[in-house]
Amino acid sequence: MGQSPGDDERERSRGGEFSACVAPWPGPPRHRLRATLRPMGDHRLFPRPPGADGAMKLGELTLTLVADGEFRLDGGAMFGVVPKVLWQRHKPADERNRIRMTTNCLLVERGDDLLLIETGVGDKGDAKFRDVFGLAEGATRLPEAIAAAGYAPGDVSHVLLTHLHFDHCGWSTIDDGTGRLVPAFPRARYWIQRGELAHAEAPNARDRPSYDPRNWRPLLDAGVVELFGDEGEPIPGVRAIRTPGHNADMCIVKLDGGGDDVAVFWADLVPTRAHVPVPWTMGFDLYPLETMANKEKWLPRAAAGGWLSIFVHETDHPIGRLVEDRPGRFRAVPLE
């Protein structure tokens, strides 16, 4: 879908605001990553056949799903105007009307590059935050999942954030032990959509609770942010595409391994398998009609092309493919 009227002007006005905070790109990393991935420990958020490796090949890309624990959000907010009698068939609610969620982050390796898409909820929340969002005690968190995949934080050369809501960028910064927040991945460039950063710095009353500046301001201070506009390509074959709906500047990520080897990381355009139907939008979506329009644009492409679909908040089968049962009617089939 094309930009709405005024988007170009808004993009230009937002662009200069942060230019001074962004250091120039220093070039590719100087050391070579290991040639093969270690198997990832079996994880209930990444179901796979017995004996299968935790990594999967997508042409020239190697993908590893790394989930950041579990949290809960209000089911009504997650499904908007969809009646509870319908959505609870897919996502049962607890006694506080919350449904189980996770943030499925993705490691993408290509040659010398290791990209991390999203950084989860993080560990900055206080006791009230942990209670409200039902953060599960003892669940595997993102740093542990990355270690289980055979990597250290210093191996990550790029981090791509689809947007700056707290559940997508929480491990971008960490306490260095002195109370100072620093980039969690010390060698990485952090890729952020320009308009999204501008909005995060001056959110409106409705979405202000979704943003925590502690997750990105230390990145600006460190000069490790790479801003982009309608599209950004942190490594060859991985393209972030501005896709309004959830908010004005969120991105989906298309992963092209060459030939027919394509995947799409839906971010909050299609956060779970239950959100595949075009009218099933979130109450959190600021522009639900744009969400629907972008689903009508992208879902047919994914189904026709046999692309892998990666659902950021899906707890049971986060990777699958879309099938079109009849014109405009799609569903997700879990990856075998």
Pairing of strands 308-310, 261-265: parallel
223 — alpha (psi -120 to 50), left (phi > 0) or beta? left
Residue-wise pLDDT tens digits, 57-96: 999 999 999 999 999 999 999 999 999 999 999 999 999 9
Q: Flag whether pLDDT at 5 surpasses 70.
A: no
Q: Give the other-Cβ count within 10 Å of 2's Cβ.
A: 6
Tell me the β-bridge partners of 239.
Answer: 254
At residue 136, the pLDDT reads: 76
Contact 151, 107 (CB under 8 A): yes
Query: For 105, phi and psi rounded to 5 degrees?
Result: -90, 165
Query: For 255, phi and psi rounded to 5 degrees?
Result: -115, 120
At residue 54, the pLDDT reads: 73
Q: Which CATH number fits domain 47-334: 3.90.1300.10, 3.60.15.10, 3.10.105.10, 3.40.1550.10?
A: 3.60.15.10
Pairing of strands 181-183, 189-193: unpaired
Helix axes 194-201, 7-15, angle to 10 degrees: 70
Q: Which one is predicted more confidently, 52 or 146?
A: 146
Residue-wise pLDDT tens digits, 210-258: 999 999 999 999 999 999 999 999 999 999 999 999 999 999 999 999 9
Q: Which DSSP letter does residue 265 get?
A: E
At a CB cut-off of 8 Å and minimum separation 6, what does 179 contact?
none
At residue 44, the pLDDT reads: 34
Domain boundaries, given as residue ranges, for the chain: 47-334
Ranges of beta strands (E only) in 2-145 are: 55-58, 61-67, 71-74, 98-101, 104-110, 113-117
Residue-wise pLDDT tens digits, 130-170: 999 999 777 779 999 999 999 999 999 999 999 999 999 99
